[in-house]
Structure 1
């Protein structure tokens, strides 16, 4: 079979490799890879050395956003041949902490988890892959290839779950939401916000093109300038990692607001903020800021449900470029019109 393989931090070693077809271990599913989604993490692995190779290996299969079709399934697995599935990214610590022991490996307390296509495990960027049934999610057959959006949707499903859990501290229910960033994560966050019946506003730098149209077609409101946003949001889902923007938005939220951070800023960057004023506002307004990364099975299931309820034509417009496996490295270079880029593992 063919696979997209990398050596972290050595972009010249990013290539299409011929690998032996995998053999499913007892109890595992054997899956035909259909599509993988591309995100910034993949480029960071290939170009900047993020991630770690599987032990004893000189390369690894890339990509953690998956979609495949089941080829073989044990009778007791709960899956059937032909099912469309996605594989979960993270695996719990082999000496589990309390969160990992309770199925919340997204909250791993000691950091010894592994991740498909990122940390010590092969990813899903191959024409065949195997997965344990407990780390696979069956999708609504009507979703078809749009199921490749499940993993990024799981990230924001977790963010909204954090909103619900923190929001349970008061009977007040949110009415307005601001999503910062109109990339795939931001647009999927906005989708879930509109499905919840909120007045959703999306902030991004671009002034025209596909992103504003996608936001408007959700029934949300698009802005390219924070000063244009006419509401003090009850909920903020931050998807840019732009640290200056994070603190500027924090000064403009409603009382009892909840901000969930999903974007990374880059640890070396330093900014100046009015720390005392922000501290006072957070204390006096009962504001909460929480970081959120990854997702567990419940979030994948929530994501699959949100995608199944969405307009498939709208979801299809999120996928702005399809790259064949034969030239997969082209997908690591973004173009101005990209929203979500996927790689077709069959080509």
Structure 2
């Protein structure tokens, strides 16, 4: 079967479409025909630098952690059946459980030897077929269609909102989302579904980002200078506006950093001033990454409530497997790139 695999070539990575062996039964009892994989910043980093930790005994890693597939074979007890659409949970816990893994919170694993499909130590889903263990397969409503590939990124923001719900100590009314990529727009979706007044900031003035935000009823800005007042909950999704995220958090409010630190933010953060702001305002700042089954289910529920029309509007770049390189090209005005693999 064909798959997209990355290997290190000198100081960089090389991504190729080629033949790989069929998935082994030891990888899971559920056999899945891939429909599509999403491409995000993590994938681009892996392709640029090469795999940080390929599967044991190999030098190549099948990429793709944002999956959508159709079940071909499954045991009767799997919770899914042939024909069902599914996505795969990404992380697998360290075989030696840390205190978090011992209670089922493998998304918080602190042992450092966990694996992640398509990221660390285990092949991803950018192959014509893959296998899943029943406990790591999440059934997708067929009404979502291709937009089911958004369940994994939706799970990340579902976890961010879970943390914000617990951390903020003031009644939530207003929320701020910094960045209108797929993570930012999904964060805005979950904010509006909570009944909040949601503001979204992105430097792209026109196009699908603005349309998708405004379709939710969110208020769209092209600069933080256009914002008025402070916000009970802030979700920083671009990594470049950390100082602005803290400054715009209301006293007693909370900010969640989802975007990985961008070098552009380094010169804008005055640590002493930041500390004074946090202390004097009783503010909470936290970070989040990865997700657990409960977050996948919450993300799936949010997408179902949004509907396939809105969710599908995030898929602005769709290419076939043979044209995979187009999904890795930069498109500042686009939202989500997807590689279609099967029917």
TM-score range, shorter chain: over 0.9
> Which structure is higher in strand share?
2
Quote the RMSD (CA, aligned, Å).
Answer: 1.9
Structure 2's unaligned 5+ residue stretches are: none
Q: Secondary structure at the match of 2:238?
A: coil
Q: Secondary structure at the match of 1:343?
A: strand
Cα deviation code 1:210-237 (max 9, x no counterpart): 2111111110000011111123110000
| 1:175 equivalent among 173, 176, 179 | 173
CA contact (8 A) 1:8 1:52 kept: no
Cα deviation code 1:3-48 (max 9, x no counterpart): 1111146667311111232243496100000000000111111112
Q: CA deviation at 1:124?
A: 0.2
Structure 1's unaligned 5+ residue stretches are: none
Using the size of structure 2 for normalisation, the TM-score is 0.95
- In the aligned structure 1, how far is the partner of 2:27 from the partner of 2:88? 17
Per mean C-alpha deviation after superposition, the further-off stretch among 21-30 and 48-57 is 21-30
Please tell me whether residue 311 in structure 1 is matched to residue 307 in structure 2.
yes
CA contact (8 A) 1:179 1:202 kept: yes
Please tell me whether residue 202 in structure 1 is matched to residue 200 in structure 2.
yes
Aligned length: 342
- In the aligned structure 2, how far is the partner of 1:202 from the partner of 1:269? 19
Taking a change above 3 Å as real, the CA distance of residues 180 and 207 of structure 1, as seen in their structure-2 partners, is same
CA contact (8 A) 2:56 2:121 kept: yes
Report the counterpart of residue 89 of structure 2 in structure 1. Answer: 88
Please tell me whether residue 154 in structure 1 is matched to residue 148 in structure 2.
no
Cα deviation code 1:261-308 (max 9, x no counterpart): 011125797425333333222112210000101000110010010011
- In the aligned structure 2, how far is the partner of 1:43 from the partner of 1:26? 25
Cα deviation code 1:46-104 (max 9, x no counterpart): 11235311011121211100000111011111211111100011110111101112221
Q: CA deviation at 1:253?
A: 2.1
Report the counterpart of residue 287 of structure 2 in structure 1. Answer: 291
**Alignment of structure 1 residues 9-24 onto 2, 5 Å:** 13-24=14-25
Using the size of structure 1 for normalisation, the TM-score is 0.94
- In the aligned structure 1, how far is the partner of 2:102 from the partner of 2:196? 35
Report the counterpart of residue 99 of structure 1 in structure 2. Answer: 100
Taking a change above 3 Å as real, the CA distance of residues 263 and 12 of structure 1, as seen in their structure-2 partners, is closer
Q: Secondary structure at the match of 1:177?
A: strand
Per mean C-alpha deviation after superposition, the further-off stretch among 311-320 and 30-39 is 311-320
CA contact (8 A) 2:37 2:338 kept: yes
Taking a change above 3 Å as real, the CA distance of residues 286 and 328 of structure 1, as seen in their structure-2 partners, is same
Report the counterpart of residue 277 of structure 2 in structure 1. Answer: 281
- In the aligned structure 1, how far is the partner of 2:94 from the partner of 2:191? 32
Report the counterpart of residue 76 of structure 1 in structure 2. Answer: 77
- In the aligned structure 2, how far is the partner of 1:31 from the partner of 1:345? 12
- In the aligned structure 1, how far is the partner of 2:185 from the partner of 2:7? 31
